Chains A and B, each alone.
Chain A
Amino acid sequence: MAFSSDTHRLRLAVRYVVLCLIAVIFVFPLVFMVVSSLKPDQQLLADTASLRAFLPVGDISLDNYWAAFRRAPVALFVMNSVIITGVTVALSLFFCSTAAFAFVFVNWKGRDLILSIILATLIVPFETIAIPLLLISSKLPWIGLDGVTVGWLNSYRVQIIPFIVDGLTVFLFVQFFKDLPSELIEAARVEGASWFQIYRRIVMPLSGPVLATAAILKFLAMYNQYLWPLMVVQEEGYRPVMVGLQYFFQLNRAWGEIMAYLSLITVPVLAFYLYLQKAFIASIASTGVKG
């Protein structure tokens, strides 16, 4: 018994050591980023040759953060990205899940063909459709406070609407919905529930994991948008964080400010992850109870 217990402890210790090493590998770049954001450029560059790069030692201050705010409207860029990303994620979860619901649970003519076409868009890189999309977006009408205007350039909508529905998110929902017990849906239909009631009261409450996964993937894709906003936004007021990052790449690069800016724009990403991590675990737990 004692031998078995010792072996178990040893295995546990080895496992923890390996996990800690892996965690360190993943955390080190973040530590480097935050620590470097506190150092003046000369010290930052000199420290890269040693372990001091990961330690908040030497001439530490928040100067790079103040300088970053002076160089670029950081708060505006973060706010823009949060708005664009948040709205797109929310709308995407709704429209992609309803589309997937229709593909999985509702019988209609041409269903498989349409689904195949949507899935086929997965193999089309965005770069290949960027220019046609730009030409279309620049000519589309819009009804707003100024009445009817032509052209979507320099707006939030041009950064949101084209990305609400995408093949990958629809695919994720389709795959997840296929694994849900069909008896639940059939029973609800027998009880007289409408399709939307089934979607809202039965399918969605069971879809926590796929909602979290789809939200995370969509969030990252939208938060990291660079090419599209570069093409469609000329006004500073609508620029997102990744275009804003370019403000710091001058001929003489201010590495400390770059690290400060990166640290600041990472905050919403981490917050979103932490929030969804809880939702993810809770959804699995509740699904288990119901199951």
Chain B
Amino acid sequence: MKHLSIVTGALLASVALTSVAQAQTTLSMWYHGAGNEGEAKVLNQIITDFNASQADWTVELQSFPQAAYNDSVVAGALAGNLPDILDVDGPVMPNWAWAGYMQPLQIDETKIANFLPGPKGMWDGKLYSIGLWDAAVALVTRKSTLEELGLRTPTLAEPWSLEEFNGAMAAAKASGKYEYALDLGMAWTGEWYPYAFSPFLQSFGGDMVDRSSYKTAEGALNGDAAMAFGNWWQGLFTQGYAQATQDPADRDNGFGAGKYAFSWNGNWAALGALKAFDDTVFLPAPNFGAGAKIGAASWQFGVSAKSAHPDGASAFIEFALQDKYLADFANTTGLIPATATAAAMTENYKDGGPLSVFYGMTEANALVRPVTPGYVVESKVFEKALADIANGADVAGTLDAATDEINADIEKNAGYGH
């Protein structure tokens, strides 16, 4: 009798559990972080917590390597095989929304009121994606280098001017201590160019496209400010301050090995720089006339247009926006938490933390890349133009050609819905 009741109890329990499991609708999710153990650990924890927190949805994760992710999503969209939840690089989001791969999020926007602007993926007046973190770029150097070269330490309130920046490059070169004054990261092709270098152009007063209409690059990419930027950019290489072609090993290891006085690098590499020298400092971007600028917007979560359960997908994303998860990601990856309250929960970004300066840089200087579906083309045209100018191409001719190419693409796509 006792055995019978145990068996009956077990059967009832298993039926009950099965019923719960069956009641849950599966939401598929694609993520770009395959191979990144830290990110995978945090994301899996969020998914486990979400699945256990309610009875309606079960999120199933499929991770892709970052370099292959965008192509996989585009192929998936072509084949009608997109998941419910996907993540998207901030500047690419408008293209995917415009192309019909994504739909607006169904989350209460008051819940993201305290988020940094970069992680909020807005397109056509609607929130399509939201990020748990942002990234920032700084001019990395050593306190001892600044002292040896007799340079003022710039601050967010008083960044280096163009003259001061150029003076710093000249002083580093004249010291004879370094192979090059500046490591720009020329070995990192692709999105690094528009992310890291378009803020220089914007600080001169130019841009990749005219943001007032997003229908032309005329004047923005080939006007006086852009010309001044192009000549300055080329000067970095002709004067021997930086190398136009860089060995990837130098990018990874050159600053730590003392080959460069300064390195233009992201916060994701900051802990490594701190490990290399105990007097490493992170300087804010210089102001070349139109204000100091750095890029903004990193990877964000969104809902695919094909999803039959946008409410469930949005519920998961809203769940992931808790400060504790933002802090977990920041602690694991070194990226900047999207809120000040989450930053205060981290070792690196809390007040006095070794990377807290990056939070301030993002707050003060961040400018999202052009919010337009055409960005995916504009970024590639910009990258090629900058590489050509660095290698000696005529500045005016190259910028004019880039402007024409961007304009032709905008025209071909009927203005991309602007």
Q: Which residue of B lies closest to A154 (CB)?
A: B81
Q: A234 near B76 (CB under 8 angstroms)?
A: yes
Residues of B within 8 A of A235 (CB): 62
A188 to B272, CA, bound (A): 74
Is there a chain B Cβ closer than 8 Å to A60's Cβ?
no
Complexed CA–CA distance, A48 and B251 (Å):
14
Interface-located stretch among B65-73, B102-110, B223-231: B65-73
Against B, the Cβ 8 Å flags (1 = close, 0 = not) of A52-74 are: 00000000000000000011100
Complex contact B65–A253 (CB within 8 A): no
B186 → chain A, closest Cβ, in Å?
15
Assembly CA distance A48 to B68 (angstroms): 28
Cα of A151 to Cα of B63 in the assembled complex, Å? 21
> In chain B, what residue has the closest Cβ to A228?
B75
Assess whether A236 is in contact with B35, with CB atoms less than 8 Å apart.
no
> What are the interface flags for A246-261 relative to B under an 8 Å C-beta threshold, 1 for contact and 0 otherwise?
1111111101000000
Bound Cα distance from A131 to B64, whole angstroms: 20
Provide the bound-state CA to CA distance between A202 and B229, in Å.
73
- For chain A, the bracket of interface size reads 20 to 34
Bound-state Cα–Cα, A134 to B72, Å? 12
Residue of B nearest to A67 (CB): B37
Contacts of B249 in A (CB 8 A): 45, 48, 255
Q: Does B55 contact A (CB under 8 A)?
A: no
A138 at the A/B interface (Cβ < 8 Å)? yes
List residues 220-258 of chain A with CB under 8 A from any CB of chain B.
Answer: 230-232, 234-236, 243-244, 246-253, 255
Chain A 142-170 interface mask (CB, 8 Å, partner B; 1/0): 00000000010100000000000000000
Q: What residues of chain B lie closer than 8 Å to A107, measured between beta carbons?
A: none
Within 8 A of A (CB), among B247-270: 247-249, 252-253, 257, 266, 268-269
Taking a contact as CB atoms under 8 Å apart, the answer to whether A252 and B78 are in contact is no
CB distance from B183 to the nearest CB of A (A): 14
Q: Which of A41, A137, A234, A255 contacts B62 (CB 8 A)?
A: A234
Complex Cα–Cα for A155 and B180 (A)? 50
Whole-angstrom distance from the CB of A258 to the nearest CB of chain B? 11
CB nearest to B249 among chain A residues: A45
Residues of B within 8 A of A72 (CB): 34-35
Give the chain A neighbours of B4 by CB distance below 8 A. Answer: none
Q: Measured between alpha carbons, how far is A28 from B247 in the docked complex, in Å?
A: 19
B75: chain A residues at CB < 8 Å are 134, 230-232
Task: Contacts A42-B253, A135-B79 given; indicate if A243 touches B65 (C-beta within 8 A).
Answer: yes
Q: Is the CB of A138 within 8 A of B81?
A: yes
Counting contact residues on chain B (CB < 8 A from A), the size range is: 20 to 34
B residues in contact with A232, CB < 8 Å? 75, 79
Contacts of B67 in A (CB 8 A): 246, 249
Knowing A247-B35, A253-B248, the reply to whether A231 touches B253 (Cβ < 8 A) is no
Please, how many angstroms separate the alpha-carbon atoms of A250 and B69 in the complex?
12
Residue from B62, B68, B81, B257 in contact with A46 in the complex, judged by beta carbons closer than 8 Å: B257
**B30 at the binding interface (Cβ < 8 Å):** yes
User: Within the complex, what minimum Cβ distance (angstroms) separates A88 from chain B?
Assistant: 21
Are B71 and A230 within 8 A (Cβ)?
yes
Q: Tell me the bound Cα distance from A231 to B65 in angstroms.
A: 13
A234 touches B30 (CB 8 A): yes
Expressed in whole angstroms, the Cα–Cα distance for A232 and B72 within the complex equals 8
B66-95 toward A: CB 8 Å interface, digit per residue (1/0)? 111001100110111100000000000000
Indicate if B44 sits at the interface (CB-CB under 8 A). Answer: no
Q: Which residues of B contact A251 (CB under 8 A)?
A: 266, 268-269
Is B36 on the interface with A (CB-CB < 8 A)? yes
Among residues 14 to 28 in chain B, which have CB atoms less than 8 Å away from a CB atom of chain A? Answer: none
By the criterion CB–CB under 8 Å, are B65 and A246 in contact? yes
Question: Judging by beta carbons under 8 Å apart, are A236 and B253 in contact?
Answer: no
Using a CB–CB cutoff of 8 Å, the interface residues on chain B facing chain A are: 30, 34-37, 62-68, 71-72, 75-76, 78-81, 247-249, 252-253, 257, 266, 268-269, 272
Q: A151-B81, A236-B62, A246-B65 are in contact. List 9 more A-B contacts (CB 8 A).
A: A42-B253, A71-B37, A134-B79, A137-B79, A138-B78, A153-B79, A236-B34, A246-B34, A246-B68
What 8 A-B pairs are tightest by C-beta distance, nearest first?
A247-B35, A246-B65, A138-B79, A231-B75, A45-B253, A45-B249, A246-B67, A246-B68
A-B contact pairs, 18 of them (CB 8 A): A41-B253, A45-B252, A71-B37, A72-B35, A135-B78, A151-B81, A234-B30, A243-B65, A246-B34, A246-B65, A246-B68, A247-B34, A248-B35, A251-B266, A251-B268, A251-B269, A252-B268, A253-B252
